[in-house]
Amino acid sequence: MIITRKKPFETIEESIKSFKKVFIVGCGTCSTVCQTGGEAQVKEVAEIIGEKCAGYTVVESPCDARILRRDLMPKKAEVDSADAVLALCCGAGAQSAADFTGKIVVPGLDTLFIGKIERIGTFYERCRACTDCVLLDTGGICPYARCAKGLLNGPCGGQVDGKCEVGGYTRDCAWVLAYRALDRHGRLDVFMKYRPPRDRSKTPQEITGRK
Ligand code: SF4
Ligand code: SF4
C-alpha cells in the first residue's frame, strides 16, 4: 500500500490561494485506508475551502488511468469549471489526475513509502521499489527499506545486541533480522554470500519500456 500523510492545511491554503476554483480528487484505496484522502477527508477539505470548491469525488483508485477516467467523466462539468485539481492521493494518483484533466495539480498529501499496515495509523516501510528484488537472499527483509544505511551486505559495525545505532538502538537491525530468518530456514549459506551493489544504470522507465 502507498502510505501518505496530509499536508498541513495552511500549506494547501497557500498553494490554492491564486485559484478561483479547485476540484478535489480523493482516493478510495490507499489514501482511504491511511485516512488522508478518503471520503471523510475530502469532504472536510471541501467544507473548509467553501466556495473555492468546484466539486469533489473519491476515485476508486486514481493511479489507474482507466478508473480515474471512469470516475471523473460524470464530474466533467465541475472539473472543467476548476482552475486546478487538489489531489488527496499519492503522487502517482495526482499525476494521473493531472494527465487526464490537463489542469494544474496541487498535491494535498505527501507520499511517504510503500508500506505494511499494522493497524490504522500504524504503517511500516517495507519496499523502495528498487526494480531488482533481493528478498530471496535476505530472508524476506528488505535491505533498502529496513536497514538505516540501505546496506546490501550487513550488519555493519553499528549493530549492538540486534539493534541499529541509527536512531539510538531503538529499532531492530535489518541484517540481524535477515540472519535470523535465513537461519530459521536453514539458509545461512545465502547470508554469507557477497551481494554486489545494485545496478543503477537503468531507470524503471527503461526497464519497463514505458514513459
Ligand atoms: S528488495 Fe526491497 S526495495 Fe527492492 S523490490 Fe524487494 S522489497 Fe522492494
Ligand atoms: S546496524 Fe543494521 S540496520 Fe543499522 S545501519 Fe547497520 S546494518 Fe543497517
Ligand nearest to the CA of 144: 1
Q: Grid coordinates 530456514 are at which residue?
A: 185
Any idea where the domains of the chain sit in the sequence?
2-112, 131-205
pLDDT, tens only, 4-14: 999 999 999 99
Q: How many angstroms separate the alpha carbon of residue 177 from the centre of ligand 2?
A: 10
- CB atoms under 10 Å from CB of 123, counted, come to 20
Take atom 2 of ligand 1 and give the residue whose Cα is closest.
142
Task: Say if pTM beats, i.e. exceeds, 0.85.
Answer: yes
pLDDT, tens only, 76-100: 999 999 999 999 999 999 999 999 9
CA 206-62-10 angle, to 5 degrees, is: 105
CATH architecture of 2-112: 3-Layer(aba) Sandwich (3.40)
pLDDT, tens only, 150-169: 999 999 999 999 999 999 99
Q: Grid coordinates 536497514 are at which residue?
A: 147
Q: How many angstroms separate the alpha carbon of residue 72 from the centre of ligand 1?
A: 33
* pLDDT band, very low/low/confident/very high, at 201 (cuts 50, 70, 90): confident
CB 177 within 8 A of CB 141: yes
Ligand nearest to the CA of 145: 1
